[in-house]
Structure 1
Amino acid sequence: MSNYIRYRNGSSSSYGIVDGTLVRELQGDILGDYSESGIARRLADLELLNPCQPTKVLAVGRNYRSHLGNRTYPQQPEIFYKPLTALQDPERPIVIPRDATDVHYEGELVLVIGKRLKSASPEEAYSAIFGATCGNDVTERDWQYGPHKDVQWWRAKGSDTFAPVGPAIVTGLDYDNLLLQTRLNGEIVQQERTADFIFNCATAISWISGWVTLMPGDIVFTGTPGATRPLQRGDVVEIEIEGIGVLRNPVA
């Protein structure tokens, strides 16, 4: 199991492996060949960045039994895109758009793809998962389902800063049985194990790869459990996943 972070390093960024309170700087590609530079820094001194650098961001909708309740379960994974410009770093604000009225958090496990994948079996898909991180699939409900809903979820799910991820990519986890918890201003508002998935990680990734070629670094949000609430400016949202850590973002 390894714990990778990306952090600001002068005018650019670097990857590192977390080793207790220290971070060992890496050179090269964490998804391919890399080596240690020999430089170590204190984790507490670093400004963490979104650890993912994908070519695309996909997401699975309606994928927890606890989220759907008595509603009919989907017969196949329901997939949508979020633009790269929706990505946001840990500790940076989720910005509520000027005309938004009902913005919600959605705490989620986010999978990071480690190799090119096309028309993969579930077994091949699972073996292609490099690691996982925490994510917040921020959503404007009025634009998604309300009186002002759009035909597509382009702004409901894709507005700038609507995809915070982090703080680290962790490898070697049991992705289908992790405890996920969302806290709003310190109050637990979501808590569920990923064992509650309707479509497990292998099934979802395999399904996507049947039509869309997944590239190294691409990320997949896997759905949110339970119920959600509106966010207000001044709130703080924390997504914590067992074995990964806490993704924290203020709301502005």
Structure 2
Amino acid sequence: MDWARIQGTDGQILTGVISDGVFLPREELGSDEGAGDPVPLDQERLLAPTVPGKFIGLWNNYHAAATRNKLDIPEHPLWFLKPVTSLAGPDATVQIPADVGRVIFEGELGIVIGQECRNISEDEAENAILGYTCINDITALQVLTADPSFPQWTRAKGFDGFGVVGPVIATDLNWRDLTIRVEVNGRERQSYPADDMIMPPAKIVSKLSEDVTLMPGDVIACGTSIGARPVKAGDRVEVIIDGIGRLGVTMADDTSG
């Protein structure tokens, strides 16, 4: 089952599932209750499939990247928060703020939480996961290390549009079979297997639930592996995971000023 959010030509935003090219509205994310007539998808705009209360990102969660960067294997998820204002959906235009220096893409697998959970076991965490989605955890790399006294994780990863999620939440996947790929202007730039994770999804959810209460719709980006690269204005960046889809955005210069 593929969960999604759409915005119709009338501006109405709906949550539901996609089946045979038709959108079926539901009362809320994860609900079995219908909420209206089927909607053809040909004139609808796909949005990020959830608006998370918490958008959590992980650092150092892939063996290959840990080996290359000579990092120790963590015993607990190394995590940070991205503000909800960083959220962007399929085919968004992501503006690069002026004077932030090098900006990189990070293609990632995302976990979407389906039920409230706190201090749960790994077995319970399996049932708490609604499904999986594509993530582009865009990062202003030079901002992160600009002040030697304080790594600026939230600022570097929290600019508007720097948390790209979508196109859907797929519920019928075995995460171990997935490969996360990124294409920039049609050229493959990143490709790595999900099963190289240091901490698998159920362990991530279980461990994070020791720290914070996870709520339905929360998003956890599982971290990235080797291959993340800089992008610039005009680049088309697509995160691709077979079984979930293609999540594309266009990078642009900041025009707000």
Q: What is the TM-score with the length of structure 1 in the denominator?
A: 0.93
Query: How big is the shift at 1:76?
Result: 2.4
Task: Give me the whole-angstrom Cα distance separating, in 1, the residues matched to 2:129 and 2:249.
Answer: 26
Quote the residue 2:44 is aligned against.
46
Query: How big is the shift at 1:146?
Result: 4.9
**Alpha carbons 1:90, 1:166 under 8 Å: kept:** yes
3-state DSSP of counterpart to 1:188: strand
Quote the residue 2:34 is aligned against.
35
Amino acid at match of 1:28: E
Correspondences of 1:179-190 after superposition (within 5 Å): 179-190=179-190
Amino acid at match of 2:216: P
Correspondences of 1:38-77 after superposition (within 5 Å): 38-41=37-40, 43-70=41-68, 71-72=70-71, 73-77=73-77
Distance 1:150 1:156, change over 3 A: farther
**Alpha carbons 1:117, 1:128 under 8 Å: kept:** yes
Quote the residue 1:203 is aligned against.
203
3-state DSSP of counterpart to 1:246: strand
Distance 1:186 1:149, change over 3 A: farther
Task: Give me the whole-angstrom Cα distance separating, in 2, the residues matched to 1:81 and 1:68.
Answer: 21
**Alpha carbons 1:110, 1:221 under 8 Å: kept:** yes
C-alpha RMSD over aligned residues: 1.6
Amino acid at match of 2:50: C
Task: Give me the whole-angstrom Cα distance separating, in 1, the residues matched to 2:105 and 2:148.
Answer: 19
Correspondences of 1:140-155 after superposition (within 5 Å): 140-146=140-146, 150-155=150-155
Correspondences of 1:9-20 after superposition (within 5 Å): 9=8, 10-20=10-20
For these two proteins, the number of residue pairs brought into alignment is 249
3-state DSSP of counterpart to 1:205: helix
Quote the residue 2:104 is aligned against.
104
Quote the residue 2:7 is aligned against.
8
**Alpha carbons 1:143, 1:150 under 8 Å: kept:** no
Task: Give me the whole-angstrom Cα distance separating, in 1, the residues matched to 2:172 and 2:145.
Answer: 37
Worse overlay, 177-186 or 30-39? 30-39
**How many percent identity over aligned positions?**
35
Query: How big is the shift at 1:33?
Result: 4.1
**Alpha carbons 2:107, 2:239 under 8 Å: kept:** yes
Task: Give me the whole-angstrom Cα distance separating, in 1, the residues matched to 2:107 and 2:19.
Answer: 26
**Alpha carbons 2:143, 2:152 under 8 Å: kept:** no
Per-residue CA deviations over 1:11-55 (Å, capped at 9, x if unaligned) read: 2201232223x22331311323421623230x3322111111211
